[in-house]
């Protein structure tokens, strides 16, 4: 899990710091999703990424929220789905991601959450391809409940772009 955590910190740090043009490059924009890639030594890292359409509650002070599907060539990682709510999550409380009638429980650590198993990752990617929106429901370390709603329009194209970029 520490590898996932360090990669997520890298992505979010670079995205939030505005250094995306130096290290992370945009491969394509697809409606509400984008595909990005970066190279770290021998490792090519590609990901589909989106920002929420709505963030509730609106008055809560937090950093930017994101949802990712990541591919890493060096570690042969595919379909790694993760989220950040822009705040530290409450310890030992899962982050729920709802797509249609399907609910996925993400494990969290600090500001990031991800699915604990490969089978769940495959299932959620299938649902993201079929669905219209994903709702991410988290509880902050301070006890605030948040709901971020993501559009899934453009997901399949961004996902395929990221996946194909990391085949090279």
pLDDT at 8 over 80: no
Region 120-135: mean pLDDT is 97
Region 31-39: mean pLDDT is 95
Among 84, 34, 75, smallest CA distance to 166 is for: 75
Average pLDDT over the chain, rounded to an integer: 88
Question: At a CB cut-off of 8 Å and minimum separation 6, what does 158 contact?
Answer: 28, 30, 33, 34, 35, 48, 49, 50
Number of domains in the chain: 1
- Burial classification of residue 100, based on how many CB atoms lie within 10 Å of its CB (0-12 exposed, 13-18 middle, 19 or more buried): exposed
| pLDDT at position 13 | 47
Domain that holds residue 16: 2-165
| pLDDT at position 146 | 97
pLDDT at 139 over 50: yes
pLDDT at 127 over 70: yes
Specify the CATH number for the domain of residue 142: 2.60.40.1880
Q: Which residue has the higher pLDDT, 36 or 12?
A: 36
% of the chain surpassing 90 pLDDT: 76
Return the HEC string of the chain. Answer: CHHHHHHHHHHHHHHHHCCHHHHCEEEEEECCEEEEEEEECCEEEEEEEECCCEEECCCCCCCCCEEEEEEECCCCEEEEEEEECCCCECCCCCEEEEECCEEEEEEEECCEEECCCHHHHHHHHHHHHHCCEEEEEEEECCCCEEEEEEECCCHHHHHHHHHHHCCC
Q: Which residue has the higher pLDDT, 127 or 118?
A: 127
Provide the pLDDT confidence category of residue 3 given band limits of 50, 70 and 90: very low
Strand order in the sheet with 33-40: 25-30, 33-40, 43-50, 66-72, 77-84, 112-114, 102-109, 95-99, 133-139, 145-151, 54-56
Residue 55, both tokens: 């963030």
Chain segment 58-91, per-residue pLDDT in tens: 999 999 999 999 999 988 999 999 999 999 999 9
| pLDDT at position 168 | 61
């Amino acid at each position: 899990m520490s590898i996932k955590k360090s990669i997520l910190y890298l992505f979010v740090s670079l995205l939030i710091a505005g250094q995306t043009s130096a290290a992370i490059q945009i491969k394509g924009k697809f409606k509400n999703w984008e595909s990005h890639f970066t190279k770290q030594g021998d490792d090519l890292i590609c990901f589909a990424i989106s920002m929420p359409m709505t963030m509730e509650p609106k008055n809560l002070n937090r950093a930017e929220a994101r949802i990712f599907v990541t591919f890493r060539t060096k570690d042969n990682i595919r379909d790694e789905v993760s989220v950040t709510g822009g705040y530290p999550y409450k310890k030992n409380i899962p982050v729920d991601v709802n797509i249609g009638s399907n609910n996925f429980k993400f494990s969290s650590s600090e500001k990031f959450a991800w699915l604990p198993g490969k089978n769940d990752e495959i299932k959620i990617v299938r649902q993201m391809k079929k669905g219209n929106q994903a709702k991410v429901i988290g509880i902050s370390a301070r006890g605030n409940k948040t709901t971020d709603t993501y559009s899934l329009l453009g997901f399949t194209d961004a996902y395929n772009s990221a996946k194909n970029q990391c085949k090279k």
